[in-house]
Amino acid sequence: MARPVVAIVGRPNVGKSTIFNRLIGDRLAIVEDKPGITRDRIYGSAEWNGKAFSVIDTGGIEIDGDDMILKSIRMQAELAIEEADVIVFMCDAKAGVTQSDEEVAQILFRSGKPVILSVNKVDNLKRVDDIYEFYSLGFGDPVGISGSHGTGIGDLLDVVVENLPELEDDGYDEDVIRVALIGRPNVGKSSLVNAILGEERVIVSDVAGTTRDAIDTPFEKDGQRYVLIDTAGMRKRGKVYETTEKYSVMRAMRAIERADVVLVLINGEEGIIEQDKHIAGYAYEAGKASLFVVNKWDMVEKEDKTMQQFEKKIRDHFLFMTYAPIVFLSAKTKQRLQKLLPVVKHVADQHSLRVQTHLLNDVISDAIAINPPPTDKGRRLRINYSTQVAVKPPTMVVFVNDPELMHFSYERYLENKIRAAFDFEGTPIRIFTRRKSDES
């Protein structure tokens, strides 16, 4: 089930990105230690008082044209209105109420969506009185915060979760495999949907961004029921939303959250670009089963080792998703198309695979015997036992004498041994290390 979305909106230099980082905490910072994931983020995950939600940082959106500040602010506000369930309207206590603030306020006020007015840079007691002038914007009590000091963030989160809606389940049965297609514009997402279904269910065009909404299409193949979630394009009118490819990431994230399996589409004719890594990184961070689909393979001039060379490029660029299988195909000619759904079904099964505790411990015991944990300042990691605590993605807890002794490289070694024993192809594995006394 998709999570509610909170958007942070405001004019430049009010501290939107700082507050974004405060809200998501260090969740994404941990992932950034892994190789191959781009570091700029506009979409993250947060949780407060048991409620999980997604956060959009409109300050992280790149706008073409430095001389179009008001236009860009207006576009960000409209985007937030479209995408978000709750909007955090960020202002600056030092600057007071500006014309740009009033411009954004008018747009948000007409939206009818819950708007929480937050005044940043309340860094000391003298600034507390500065928030009162923001009542003039018409959104009730402002929440004074300091992004640099972290004060008031809890108060802001309290108000945010009070306004979060209860989202209903999408209504599909548990045995239905939800498949999201993600990728930058014009990689052939809609064409692939049409090819799989064998009929024209959605508009297809060579112009990037012509599909105006995420479309769910249920179908059945070989006794297995699927739902295809096509994430192409933006709902909003006009070309302004297609000026930056980062907007496609937001649409993709909503689909990723609902999906069991994510197809990361790559344009075989154009090759891999940085945006492909950016989008694939979200599928990884969401813990979804994934596979790479290299489309337009019919347009690629081939030699004996063309496929192997392209596969090596994918492995080199996507070091954080080495578990994801690769399928080469052409949605246009349907070349190799028959290979796709069996792989989708396989990785969905691996994503929900549960390993018995005694088998998991046997594998880890053998791994330790082959390669004992290294010592750290004379202390050695001792692994007591392990157990799988969740699926989708498979999540293991390893109980040890001291979690700080679990080095990243040894955790990766254990993961590789687990994969060698149980497959888990196409799905990330989460491993959490806990002190044995933490079990209770």
**Residues annotated in the binding site for GTP, as ranges?**
10-17, 57-61, 120-123, 183-190, 230-234, 295-298
Reference 159, options 323, 49, 82, 17; nearest CA is: 49
CA distances from 162 to 107, 145, 169, 336 (A): 22, 18, 20, 50
Instruction: Say how far apart CA 292 and CA 276 lie, in whole Å.
Output: 10
Instruction: Say how far apart CA 401 and CA 362 lie, in whole Å.
Output: 19
Q: What are phi and psi of 8, to 5 degrees?
A: -100, 120
> Which residues define the annotated binding site?
10-17, 57-61, 120-123, 183-190, 230-234, 295-298
Tokens of 257: 């959250």
CA dihedral (279, 37, 258, 4) positive or negative: negative
CA dihedral (232, 236, 242, 246) positive or negative: negative
Place of tokens 């929480």: 116
Peptide bond into 393 cis (omega under 30): yes
